[in-house]
Amino acid sequence: MSKRVTRNWHVPRGSEMTELDKKVLGFQNRGCLVPKRELIKTPEQIEGIRRSGEINTGVLDLVEKEIRAGMSTADIDKLVYDYTTAHGAIPAPLNYEGFPKSVCTSINEVVCHGIPNENEILCEGDIINVDVSTIYEGYFSDASRMFIIGQTSPEKERLVRVTKECLEIGMQAAKPWGFLGEVGKAIERHARKNGYSVVRELCGHGVGLAFHEDPEVDHYNTHKQGMLLVPGMVFTIEPMINMGERYVFIDEADGWTVVTEDELPSAQWEHTFVVTESGLEILTH
């Protein structure tokens, strides 16, 4: 029986076939999973996403300057909202599927999607992920950083460092005309080598013209080739690495906050990338 081919790539009727079309169709005809043609961003779209990313980076730079013990996560939310709107942009999380705030603030055992709260006060030794997403002139960007509040334990500091290394290693594994499965394989290998586990329930994603687009970017070894990486694709890599077991649950009280089952710390770093002919270019910092 011949292998079934998923035909995502179509050249519009009446359009001239480009060299890019021919190359992608060659992979598709060999049975490889390829992106839909509309996932390939134009140079103008990439520039728009880059401008959105500059504001997104500015938000995180401001948080890095101001974050400290004694401030609440609601204070962080206000910083994000004020800076974003002052630059003519919109915080993408605000009211997204009912999310009530402008940013996700995830402390210690909270993996992601923590909701800012005026009663949640940062303490010496906490580690916190601040996840910022920005809409500017219709273009979306997405990035997060880990922050250490004052002095923390060597164990937490190492988790933060290794998680950042996982992001960098995932980026290096993503090669133009290679396959997305290599990203998760490389990330999980590095995490496991350091005694950590990778959250599997959440993933990176395409971004740019919407908050979440294809492809899904797994951060663990799926033992699958995954989607072909074609120049012009834009997506996030955002590994969530746990100090203990990989298992997580969603807090029923708010329906958003993802927490480690064993209540050991978790860390995450994220960038938005565009695939180029030479590798990945970071559109957020």
Mean pLDDT of successive 10-residue stretches along the chain, which has 285 residues: 69 89 96 96 98 98 98 98 98 98 98 98 98 98 98 98 98 98 98 98 98 98 97 98 98 97 98 96 93
Determine the Cα–Cα distance for residues 130 and 4; give it in Å rounded to an integer: 42
Query: Sign of the CA dihedral 110, 78, 58, 126?
Result: negative
Closest CA to 130 of 82, 73, 91, 196: 73
DSSP assignment of 251-273, as one string? -TTTS--EEETT---EEE-BEEE
What local confidence, expressed as pLDDT, does residue 4 receive? 60
What local confidence, expressed as pLDDT, does residue 2 receive? 42
Determine the Cα–Cα distance for residues 57 and 17; give it in Å rounded to an integer: 37
What local confidence, expressed as pLDDT, does residue 222 receive? 97
Q: What are phi and psi of 73, to 5 degrees?
A: -70, -25
What local confidence, expressed as pLDDT, does residue 12 receive? 87
Kindly list the domain boundaries of the chain, sorted by start residue. Answer: 30-282
**Hunting for tokens 């923590």 — which residue is that?**
114
Q: Taking the model in full, what pTM does it have?
A: 0.96
Classify 30-282 by CATH class: alpha beta
What local confidence, expressed as pLDDT, does residue 1 receive? 37
DSSP assignment of 128-187, as one string? EEEEEEEEETTEEEEEEEEEE-SS--HHHHHHHHHHHHHHHHHHHH--TTSBTHHHHHHH
What local confidence, expressed as pLDDT, does residue 5 receive? 67
What local confidence, expressed as pLDDT, does residue 143 receive? 98
What local confidence, expressed as pLDDT, does residue 161 receive? 98
What local confidence, expressed as pLDDT, does residue 110 receive? 98
Q: Which two tokens stand for residue 6?
A: 């998923």
Alpha helices, DSSP H, located in the chain: 19-29, 43-66, 73-86, 154-173, 181-193
